[in-house]
Structure 1
Amino acid sequence: MPNQSVVDRIREFNRGRNLEWLKLKYKAMQKDAFGFLRGTCHLFYQDLPVEGIFRSAPPVWICGDLHLQNFGTFKGDDRLVYFDVNDFDEALLAPCTWDITRLVTSIIVGAHTLNISDEDALALCDYFLEIYTKELSTGKDRTVHSEISTGLVKELIDSLKTRKRKDFLDERTEIEGKQRSLKLIEGKTTPVTEAERQKVTDAIAECAATQPNPEFYQVLDVMHRIAGTGSLGLDRYVILVEGNGSPNQNYLLDLKAARSSSLQPYTPYSQPNWKNEADRITAIQDRFQESPPALLTSLLIGNQPYVLRELQPTADRVNLESKDGKTKQLKKVIKTMAEVTAWGQMRSTGRQNSAIADDLIAFSQTAQEWHPNVIDYARSYAAQVEQDYQEFKTQAEEV
């Protein structure tokens, strides 16, 4: 954006957020260039030229903030554990090249974090595009679960089988008698006021009245939840509910304020007339994924929309940094990420003006024309991210 510094653009985008939590966001963004990229999705799309393949590519339902850390495991509403794209706060209808370009950029920016060379990072980018295009060309969509997962993803999913709800609850709550309450955990939770507690409790009760088992949603405790990077500073709660019985069959819920997508001003496509931003997020997630996370729904508290979902012991990400430059293992993860990206786009074809499968198949057959454009832009923008990060880090006290 002309005549505005990076710091000014970041300050303007985050205006109105909780200042204490915003400090945590900025601290995470100062860690390295990859953390900065995660926290500045809005900069990526402000800078993206909406021309060439960034305009002419088929319109699809996209995550909007696709990067290496926005994939993970979760238990779907069919109670099976999946690995898929797991963040749809920015989701909307846009050219399919937008998501894949942001993902490829994240590989280049994250190269040093992963302890791989720039050459290896570019090879992984090429491989991602190769697999993504191959899967589009089939016109089919599939899912990743335990039986068909490989490498680090399979290790992660298999490890989740040993995680128990009681252990998950014990880490985050404490028991007095037969009643659980939430723990105050530094950096993860903070207390709510009585007015906030009542506001959340009333909203959950209203939502529960529309569910088959309202007793499941009986609220036992509420705290603010501190999580994520890009969304830090927005209203967010962790809620302990009765679930299937106290104390060991209680459930934890995540309630997160929804705001408009930072891509909205730049997409060349008109969007559906969603009732609110939480409806946008949950509707797109529902069509992109084979089986969305359990208890996913939208609700309103006053005029503010929120996304409600289960906080699960089976929710996790692949720890890519722990592999410390092992490119063979990283390659398997990149393959899975490319597959689920293509499958999600294919699964949601033909919905409210998104491209049909034949359009995506035809696009895949012109890969030799647009692959170089994606790589070239990702390389140049990765350099821009590094430059912006250095400027931000130098002037962070001014934000």
Structure 2
Amino acid sequence: MKHKPPPDPESRVKLLLARRNRKMATSAHAYVRGSTVRFYEWLETASRASVPEGPEIWICGDCHAGNLGPVASADGAVAIQIRDLDQTVIGNPAHDIIRLGLSLATAVRGSDLPGVTTARMLECMMNGYESAFEPELVGNGAVAGMPAVIGRVMRAASHRSWRQLAEERIEGVKPEIPLGRRFLPLAAEERAAVAELFAEPTLQKLATVLRSREDGAPVRVLDAAFWRKGCSSLGLLRMAVLVGVGRGKAERHCLMDVKEAVAAAAPRSPGAAMPRDNAERVVTGARSLSPFLGERMLPARLLGRSVFVRELLPQDLKLEIERLTQAEATEVAQFLAEVVGRGHARQMDAANRKQWLAELRRNRSRSLDAPSWLWRSVVDLVATHEAAYLEHCRRYAMAEAA
């Protein structure tokens, strides 16, 4: 199969930067998703006394609504879990709560809902988060009371097939990745490195981890390409690898996501013992927060860089929350916060869970059931991001006009 000459790394960065700026200009909610570093900068300037210190556990680090969604386990179960752990660190669980609150507040603003909806939404969010710490709920069980807007995504995920995944991601079921809008060609050195990577026994085993595949079945790389995807991948290695598992007519295809792991920008707890290798950090955090996803990931090295590899399954979907009704806003907030709470709670013993709950329930007012630290944080962050979003749009419009 013939490939176009690959663009140099600098050209790739220019293409990705233009794509990111365009996506972030579409709405304030999209800007919040793509401006993670601004959130961390706010955390650095926020008074430590204004945010409670929770037990040191693995947190998502970038816990916005788009980073949650249906995730499939290796044995076929599907649940809503955190699905992006690039920024995972051992840190303060309050940071995940604030980040989720900001994300949902901008979705409420983008839905033209009144400010009182944001207040009620934060109340319901805290109710959902705290409910995850009830002794009978700690664990990997399904979260009850799924809102209809999320239930529709779950039903779609549960019925998706490999064909649908292939048509969505690589525009067909042929054993090749189409170059163009989504994918760029790899250099010869990169293609050789990918082939070498998937010849390793650990990667071969990852491709056969699903219960529907035979242990020890042969694994071969059918095609690979550079993936023009996401805001956080700017300038980093990101590859889609189409792999064949099995022999002859029994061969099945799977799509692997190879993503470079770099140092997390999320604040970590001082002295926290985490893997020094960034891919190992991501995989370890995933196994603590999102077991379904973590069991399908492996750290590796590619071209001297730290990468993590996971298979993309048809059931893995992103929650696209753009517009909400008042009822949906509170229901979705409570549900997603409980999902995040489950990921936090399973890492704590009974004493830490009790202590953290007591801390969360402090500083409540009679007029607002959400803690004052959360309300102040979200209000401040919404104002900061609204201004930054408008400035981003101004710069984007000027660049387009040039």
CA distance in 1, matches of 2:232, 2:270: 24
CA distance in 2, matches of 1:303, 1:16: 21
Deviation at 1:375, TM superposition (A): 0.7
Partner of 2:106: 109
Worse-superposed segment, 241-250 or 64-73: 241-250
Partner of 2:307: 306
Q: Give the counterpart letter for 2:261 in structure 1.
A: A
Structure 1 regions of 5+ residues with no counterpart? 1-14
Partner of 2:118: 121
Deviation at 1:365, TM superposition (A): 4.3
**Does 2:250 match 1:255?**
no
Partner of 2:6: none
Contact 2:122-2:375 at 8 Å conserved across structures: yes
Partner of 1:4: none
Q: Deviations over 1:220-241 (max 9, x none)?
A: 1001112223334321111100
Pair 1:32–1:368, CA change in 2 (3 A): same
Pair 1:111–1:345, CA change in 2 (3 A): same
Pair 1:330–1:241, CA change in 2 (3 A): same
Q: Deviations over 1:98-120 (max 9, x none)?
A: 11111111222222333423321
Partner of 2:33: 38
Q: Deviations over 1:110-146 (max 9, x none)?
A: 2233342332122212210122123335474244659
Partner of 1:288: 289
CA distance in 1, matches of 2:23, 2:192: 31
Q: Give the counterpart letter for 1:120 in structure 2.
A: T
Pair 1:365–1:382, CA change in 2 (3 A): closer
Structure 2 regions of 5+ residues with no counterpart? 1-9, 209-214
Contact 1:217-1:242 at 8 Å conserved across structures: yes
Partner of 1:271: 272
Partner of 1:222: 224
**Does 2:14 match 1:19?**
yes
**Does 2:394 match 1:387?**
no
Report the count of equivalent residues. Answer: 374
Contact 2:126-2:334 at 8 Å conserved across structures: no
Contact 2:117-2:329 at 8 Å conserved across structures: no
Contact 1:138-1:361 at 8 Å conserved across structures: no
CA distance in 1, matches of 2:248, 2:166: 11
Deviation at 1:254, TM superposition (A): 0.6
**Does 2:166 match 1:169?**
yes
Contact 2:284-2:294 at 8 Å conserved across structures: no
Contact 2:226-2:239 at 8 Å conserved across structures: yes
**Does 2:192 match 1:191?**
no
Deviation at 1:170, TM superposition (A): 4.2
Partner of 2:344: 345
Q: Percent identity?
A: 19
Contact 1:75-1:293 at 8 Å conserved across structures: no
Pair 1:191–1:246, CA change in 2 (3 A): farther
Secondary structure of residue in 1 paired with 2:300 = strand
Superposition TM-score, scaled by structure 1 size: 0.84
**Does 2:93 match 1:93?**
no
Q: Give the counterpart letter for 2:356 in structure 1.
A: L
Partner of 1:239: 241
Contact 1:89-1:281 at 8 Å conserved across structures: yes
Contact 1:189-1:226 at 8 Å conserved across structures: yes
Q: Give the counterpart letter for 1:339 in structure 2.
A: E
Secondary structure of residue in 1 paired with 2:108 = coil
Superposition TM-score, scaled by structure 2 size: 0.83
Contact 1:145-1:157 at 8 Å conserved across structures: no
Deviation at 1:344, TM superposition (A): 0.4
Contact 2:90-2:274 at 8 Å conserved across structures: no
Pair 1:147–1:137, CA change in 2 (3 A): closer
Pair 1:371–1:244, CA change in 2 (3 A): farther
